[in-house]
């Protein structure tokens, strides 16, 4: 079992918070989080919204965000099966910072 540092610090080599920073450093994660901010979307809608992402990469990104507790996946037992994605309550705290980063990126071109 990994020893947790006495105090969390992203500068400490063994701090688990680094995993979260690496996740947010992934451009697809930021774009998916931004697309889901305030929205509940199906896979196809999300794929159309995030231009340039492959279906495989979107699936991997969603799985990673779900494992980290940032995205909720809801499966509805219908025919055909309906699956929707939304941000968790924990991830909603990221919505404004992610939006600010995206707006900064757009305004700096």
CATH T-level assignment (fold) for domain 17-107: Arc Repressor Mutant, subunit A (1.10.10)
Residue 106: asked if its preceding bond is cis (omega within 30°), the reply is: no
How far CA 36 is from CA of 11, 15, 39, 99, in Å, comes to: 30, 28, 5, 11
Query: Looking only at Cα atoms, what is the longest distance across the chain?
Result: 50
Phi, psi torsion values for 74, nearest 5 degrees = -115, 125
* pTM score of the predicted model: 0.83
The count of other CB atoms within 10 Å of the CB of residue 79 is 5
Domain ranges of the chain: 17-107
**pLDDT tens across 43-102, in order?**
999 999 999 999 999 999 999 999 989 999 999 999 999 999 999 998 988 889 888 988
């Amino acid at each position: 079992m990994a020893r947790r540092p006495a105090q969390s610090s992203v500068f400490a080599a063994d701090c688990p918070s680094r995993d979260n920073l690496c996740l947010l450093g992934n451009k697809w994660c930021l774009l998916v989080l931004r697309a889901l901010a305030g929205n509940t979307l199906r896979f196809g809608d999300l794929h159309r919204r995030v231009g340039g992402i492959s279906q495989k990469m979107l699936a991997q990104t969603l799985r990673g965000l779900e494992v980290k507790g940032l995205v909720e996946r809801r499966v509805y037992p219908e025919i055909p099966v309906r699956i929707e994605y939304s941000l968790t309550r924990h991830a909603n705290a990221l919505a404004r910072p992610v939006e600010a980063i995206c707006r900064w990126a757009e305004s700096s071109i």
